[in-house]
């Protein structure tokens, strides 16, 4: 008897099973995930019972998301980020012991080619904004320093924009840099105090969530990516404790241990801020650390 004769007859009662049956021979984890997503989608359709016009609006939204994605902008990533899906995947895949620095999502503005800079130098190439002194230390779970660790940092400027958002207004690699920890696991540099910002609302994802009253603000923060041989790579944020919108982070990245006070100080006779941070790395396990 042919496979066609054995196949389930498609109906409201059997729709998910009829689709899954065609994926039964797939051993790829991604294919199994897609199969599960489709089955859940069938369940949602049965629960909400949309009309053809309502379902067409869903398809039109997804089509617009695809049209808004290109080499400079990834609207699908924005959708994943703003729905908390990216944060959930990161949380599942980077569970660490108590005391270790948690991972957060990298976000869309990371550049892998940040230039290496000397400790104590500035990453603010235009000097616009309130000066900020960043003092950091990288240690392991026992509190021992991790010398020679690479510390990549990037941030928005005092108006809430990243350098690659404003290529005509900010110098290349503004507010970006790669530093290496010394024998004591320390690094420091100068910057400017970043501002919080709203995520893009000029695309289909931002418009949809804004119309629903969804908070689309990101509190002021610094990004860090820290890597060292034999340790799991850390990708994380440091948040400004003085930002009033910490509880509304659109990307679900705020953790209590990542919130730090930006203390007032003086630098070269001018008002400035200072923040001191410690990052705790975990020894890499097989298949982890990248």
pLDDT in tens, the chain (290 residues): 345 556 678 899 999 888 888 776 567 888 888 888 899 999 999 999 999 999 999 999 999 999 988 776 788 988 999 999 999 999 998 889 999 999 999 988 899 999 999 999 999 999 999 999 999 999 999 999 999 999 999 999 999 999 988 999 999 999 999 999 999 999 999 999 999 999 888 889 999 999 999 999 999 999 999 999 999 999 999 999 999 999 999 999 999 999 999 999 999 999 999 999 999 999 998 765 55
Dihedral sign from CA coordinates of 197, 198, 203, 204: positive
Domain limits, the chain: 12-49, 76-281
Q: How many of the other CB atoms lie within 10 Å of CB of 237?
A: 24
Residue owning tokens 């012991």: 97
3-state secondary structure of 72: coil
Determine the pLDDT at residue 2.
47
Dihedral sign from CA coordinates of 116, 119, 123, 126: negative
Element (H or E) spanning 275, and its range?
strand 270-281
Catalytic site residues? 162, 197, 218, 221, 223
Topology of the domain comprising 76-281: Protocatechuate 3,4-Dioxygenase, subunit A (2.60.130)
Both tokens assigned to 178: 């790669």
């Amino acid at each position: 008897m042919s496979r066609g004769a054995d196949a389930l007859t498609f109906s409201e009662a059997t729709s998910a099973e009829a689709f899954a049956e065609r994926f039964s021979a797939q051993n790829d984890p991604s294919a199994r995930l897609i199969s599960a997503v489709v089955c859940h989608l069938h369940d949602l359709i049965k629960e909400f019972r949309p009309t053809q016009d309502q379902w067409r609006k869903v398809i039109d939204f997804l089509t617009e998301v695809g049209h808004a994605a290109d080499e400079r902008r990834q609207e699908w990533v924005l959708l994943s980020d703003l729905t908390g899906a990216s944060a959930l995947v990161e949380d599942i895949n980077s569970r660490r012991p108590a005391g270790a620095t948690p991972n957060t999502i990298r976000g869309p503005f990371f550049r892998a080619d940040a230039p290496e800079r000397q400790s104590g130098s500035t990453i603010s190439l235009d000097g616009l904004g309130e000066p900020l002194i960043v003092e950091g230390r990288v240690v392991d779970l026992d509190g021992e320093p991790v010398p020679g660790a690479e510390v990549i940092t990037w941030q928005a400027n005092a108006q809430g924009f990243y350098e690659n958002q404003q290529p005509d207004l900010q110098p290349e690699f503004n507010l970006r840099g790669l530093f290496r920890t010394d024998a004591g696991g320390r690094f420091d540099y100068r910057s400017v105090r970043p501002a919080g910002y709203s995520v893009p609302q000029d695309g289909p994802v931002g418009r949809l969530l804004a119309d629903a009253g969804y908070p689309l603000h990101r509190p002021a923060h610094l990004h860090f990516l820290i890597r060292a041989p034999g340790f799991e790579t850390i990708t994380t944020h440091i948040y400004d404790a003085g930002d009033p919108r910490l509880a509304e982070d659109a990307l679900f990245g705020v953790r209590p241990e990542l919130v730090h006070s930006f203390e007032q100080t003086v630098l070269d006779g001018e008002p400035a801020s200072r923040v001191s941070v410690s990052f705790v790395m975990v020894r890499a396990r097989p298949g982890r650390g990248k």
